[in-house]
Structure 1
Amino acid sequence: MTRLALALATVSLIAACGADGDPVKPTANLNVGVSTGGVHAGGSVGVRKGPWNLSLGRIF
C-alpha cells in the first residue's frame, strides 16, 4: 500500500510540474452560506488541464 501511495504521489508530482506537457492548473473553492438553519461551509480542490477538470469537494 505504501508503494502504491508513493507511486501515485510521484506521478502526480511529475504531471503537476509539466514534465509530460503543459502543467495542470490547481483550483480551489470555498463556499460559506448563512440561513435560518445555521452556517454551512463547503469547499473543493482540484486540477484543470485543457477542457478537463477533476475536483474533490466536501460540505461541512
Structure 2
Amino acid sequence: MKYAAFAFALILAACGADGLPTAPEQPKSGLHMSGEVKIGVQTEL
C-alpha cells in the first residue's frame, strides 16, 4: 500500500498537476518581439 501511494504521488508530479491554471499576462500596447534567430551555414565534411 505504501508503494501505491508513492506511485500515485509520482504520477501526479510527472503530469504537472501543481495547481489551477492561470491566464497568460496581457502584453502592453506597442511593438513586442520575442523568439530565437539562428543564422549560419551548415556543411558536411
Q: TM-score range by the shorter chain?
A: 0.3 to 0.5
Q: TM-score, normalised by structure 1?
A: 0.29
> Relative to total residues, which structure has the larger strand share, 1 or 2?
1
Report the structure number with the largest CA radius of gyration.
Answer: 2
If asked which structure has higher relative contact order (CA below 8 Å, sep 6+), I would say 1
TM normalised by structure 2 equals 0.37
